[in-house]
Amino acid sequence: MTAPQTPQIPRPSLASLEKKAYWLGLLLLASGLHIFEAVMPSFGPWFKLGLANIITLIALERMGAKAAASLAIGRVVIGAFFIGTMFTPTFIISLTATLSSTAIMLISWRFIPRISLIGVSLLGALVHMCSQFIVVEQLFIQQIALYYLLPPLLVLSCATGWLNGALATYITAQLTIRSR
């Protein structure tokens, strides 16, 4: 008498599992930074440092566009769940700005030759800020006078975008050195 045959479930490869675990680790790190930025004292009503975007840049450089995009969206949803802003105006503004900034980061990384993570981060920060204003103006405030606040905040976005890009470049370089 032979033992009953059980269906064989194909085992995923170690490389595939490690890639998923690595992505999940980055997602948790990005969500943690997103929540940390939400609870830390604000630099202004419209302005954040964008620390969580450093993790998106690392994912873009090390895992590719698909992983970076899913990570950016995932951390906004998880962050909103923990902060308690799910489906509020803050969530709508944050998600829309993240989608548009991630799109521009992926496009620039793919199509602009010799651009580094610093340039990608700079473009992402600028588009993120502009998107926030467009969403607020179109959906909530509906007053064009809102845009008078935009230029000084774009200057700050340039600074934070550049610094975040430099940090992401440094971290990815260190990770590359250690993985050799």
Partner 1 sequence: MLIRSASTSNREPPNTSNPWHWLKGTWVDRILLLLAVIAIGMSWQWLHQNLSGTPMVHIYHGKTLLATYPLHPETPIHFQARGDIGLSEITIDSDGVHISHSSCVSQRCVLSGHRHRVGDILACVPNHILVSIQGTQKLALDAVSE
Q: Which residues contact partner 1 (rule: CB under 8 A)?
A: 14-15, 18-19, 22, 42, 44-45, 60-64, 88-90, 93, 112-116, 118-119, 122-123, 126, 136, 140-152, 154-155, 158, 162-163, 165-167, 169-170, 172-173, 175-179
Residues 6+ apart with CB under 8 A from 155: none
CB of 126 to partner 1, least distance (A): 6
Nearer to partner 1, 7 or 113 (CB): 113
Nearer to partner 1, 3 or 14 (CB): 14
Nearer to partner 1, 52 or 61 (CB): 61
CB of 70 to partner 1, least distance (A): 14
Nearer to partner 1, 4 or 45 (CB): 45
CB of 148 to partner 1, least distance (A): 5
CB of 32 to partner 1, least distance (A): 20
CB of 14 to partner 1, least distance (A): 7
Nearer to partner 1, 3 or 145 (CB): 145
What is the 3-state secondary structure of the chain?
Answer: CCCCCCCCCCCCCHHHHHHHHHHHHHHHHHHHHHHHHHHCCCCCCCCCCCCHHHHHHHHHHHHCHHHHHHHHHHHHHHHHHHHCCCCCHHHHHHHHHHHHHHHHHHHHHHHCCCCCHHHHHHHHHHHHHHHHHHHHHHHHHCCHHHHHHHHHHHHHHHHHHHHHHHHHHHHHHHHHHHHC
